[in-house]
Amino acid sequence: MKPAHSVEDLRRRARAALPRLVFDYIDGGAEDEVALAGNTAAFDALRLVPRAGRDVAARDTSVTLFGRRWAMPFGVAPTGLADLARPGADLAIARAAAAADIPFILSTTATTDIETVARAIPDHLWFQLYMPADRAIGHDLVRRAREAGAAALVVTLDVPAPGKRERDLRNGFALPLRFGPRRLLDFASHPAWAWRMARAGAPRFASLIPYAPPGAGSTSLAAFMARQITADLTWEEVARLRDIWPRPIVVKGLLDPADVAEAARLGLDGVILSNHGGRQLGLAAAPVAMLPAAVEAAAGRLAVMLDGGVRRGAHITAAVALGARMVFAGRPTLYGAAIAGEAGAAMTIRLLRDEFERTLGLLGARTLAELDPAMVRQPG
pLDDT per position as a tens digit, 132-142:
999 999 999 99
The answer to whether the beta carbons of residues 218 and 176 sit under 8 Å apart is yes
- CA–CA separation, 150 vs 127, rounded Å? 6
From 124, 190, 276, 315, the catalytic residue: 276
pTM over 0.95: yes
Q: What is the third-level CATH fold of 7-377?
A: TIM Barrel (3.20.20)
pLDDT per position as a tens digit, 35-77:
999 999 999 999 999 999 999 999 999 999 999 999 999 999 9
pLDDT category at 380 given cuts 50, 70, 90 is confident
Q: Which of 207-216, 217-226, 236-245 has the highest mean pLDDT?
A: 236-245
Least Cα distance to 251 among 324, 326, 305, 330 occurs for 305
Q: Who wins on pLDDT, 213 or 192?
A: 192
DSSP string, 179-210: --HHHHHHHHTSHHHHHHHHHH-----GGGGG
What single-letter DSSP state applies at residue 6? S
Look at residue 230 in the predicted model and tell me its pLDDT.
83
Which residues lie below 8 Å from residue 17, measured CB to CB, with a gap of 6+?
190, 192, 193, 338, 339
High-pLDDT (> 90) share of the chain, %: 88
Look at residue 62 in the predicted model and tell me its pLDDT.
98
Q: What is the mean pLDDT of the segment spanning 304-310?
A: 98
Strands (E), 68-123: 68-70, 74-76, 104-106
- CA–CA separation, 278 vs 284, rounded Å? 7
- Computed from CA positions of residues 64, 66, 68, 70, in that sequence, does the dihedral angle turn out positive or negative? negative
Alpha carbon 118 to chain centroid, angstroms: 17
The C-alpha angle with vertex 312 and arms to 309 and 93, in degrees rounded to 5, equals 80
Which residues lie below 8 Å from residue 99, measured CB to CB, with a gap of 6+?
346
Q: What is the mean pLDDT of the segment spanning 179-205?
A: 88
The C-alpha angle with vertex 200 and arms to 197 and 206, in degrees rounded to 5, equals 110
Strands (E), 89-180: 104-106, 125-129, 153-156
High-pLDDT (> 70) share of the chain, %: 98
Look at residue 217 in the predicted model and tell me its pLDDT.
66
- How many of the other CB atoms lie within 10 Å of CB of 297? 22
What are the CA-CA distances from residue 156 to residues 144, 181, 233, 310, 361 (Å)?
A: 17, 38, 10, 19, 35
Look at residue 219 in the predicted model and tell me its pLDDT.
67
The answer to whether the beta carbons of residues 113 and 55 sit under 8 Å apart is no
Q: What is the mean pLDDT of the segment spanning 17-32?
A: 97
Catalytic residue status for 276: yes
Look at residue 146 in the predicted model and tell me its pLDDT.
98
Please check the confidence at residue 226 and state whether its pLDDT lies above 80.
no
Q: What is the mean pLDDT of the segment spanning 273-292?
A: 98
